[in-house]
Amino acid sequence: FEERDAPKPLKGKRALVTSGPTFEPIDPVRYIANRSSGRQGHAIAAALHRLGAEVTLVTGPTRLADPPGCAIRPIETAREMLAACEAALPVDIAVCAAAVADWRVAGESDRKLKKDGGGPPGLTLTENPDILAALSQSTSQRPALVVGFAAETGNVVEYATAKRIRKGCDWIVANDVSPGTTTFGGSENTVHLIRDGGIEDWPTMGKEAVAARLAEAIAQHFNQPSA
């Protein structure tokens, strides 16, 4: 059984996936970032490609190999991620798995900040664009299916359900990042798939398995008679 003989239910579909962290500059040598490994997003890009989709992967800096067969758009900041996503439109499917920095430094310095005897600099933060919301709420080129992730602790499903409505995406994959789970930077994920049809609780599984199952659900969505 070879890869080329595998069924390609997403043949002819275009997909956009965001992955990894963003790096938000403080000055030319320093930045604010987070611990996202990019594993989940990269695995989703690979899984969609395996099912036949034409995939663009917009990714922040990671240590991962490029998933085979995908067009890779490397970016650093949230603003660059938004621009790269907009440039990839139109697509049928968008999956936002990136850990986008919620804030960036307002008035980033174009010179390296120096210890000048005046004490540490105060950093003022400003909010970054929300890429998932922008894609979901795009009036001209909205992807037919927009999927977000929601990293939550506590009432995971409740918070993620509210996030889905607030952002306007079609599906949200709620991610339990409570202490004791291994999600962030780890290899396993405990998720719930929230959509109009209801909520599916998936067992804890590897990020590759989550990606494969999500890609299958997406293929099913596009191949069901009413889609």
Site residues for ligand CTP per CB under 6 A: 18, 78, 96, 98, 100, 102, 128, 130-132, 148-151, 163
**Residue 34 designated active-site:** yes
**Binding site: which residues?**
102, 112, 129-132, 149, 163, 167
Q: Which residue ranges are tagged as binding site for CTP?
A: 102, 112, 129-132, 149, 163, 167
Q: Is 46 exposed, middle or buried (0-12, 13-18, 19+ CB in 10 A)?
A: buried
Using CB atoms within 10 A of its CB, is residue 198 exposed (0-12), middle (13-18) or buried (19+)? exposed
Q: Of 34, 155, 189, 223, which is the active-site residue?
A: 34
**Rounded to whole angstroms, what are the CA distances from 159 to 31, 164, 183?**
29, 9, 17
Q: Closest distance between Ca ion and the C-beta of residue 149, in Å?
A: 10
By C-beta, is 75 or 78 nearer to ligand CTP?
Answer: 78
Q: How far is the CB of 112 from ligand CTP (least distance, A)?
A: 27
Binding partner at 148 among Ca ion, ligand CTP, none, C-beta below 5 to 8 Å by kind:
ligand CTP
Position 53: which residue type? A
Name the residue number minimizing CB distance to Ca ion: 102
Please, which residue, 18 or 56, has the CB nearer to ligand CTP? Answer: 18
The least CB distance from residue 102 to Ca ion, in Å, is 4
Instruction: Decide whether 46 or 96 has the Cβ nearer to ligand CTP.
Output: 96
49 or 164: CB nearest ligand CTP = 164
Which residue in 6, 69, 102, 127 binds Ca ion (CB under 5 A)? 102
Binding footprint of Ca ion, residue count (CB under 5 A):
1
Instruction: Report whether the peptide linkage leading into residue 90 is cis, meaning its omega lies within 30 degrees of zero.
Output: yes
Which entry of ligand CTP, Ca ion, none binds 78, CB below 5 to 8 A by partner kind?
A: ligand CTP
> Which residues does the annotation mark as catalytic?
34
Interface residues toward Ca ion, by CB under 5 A: 102
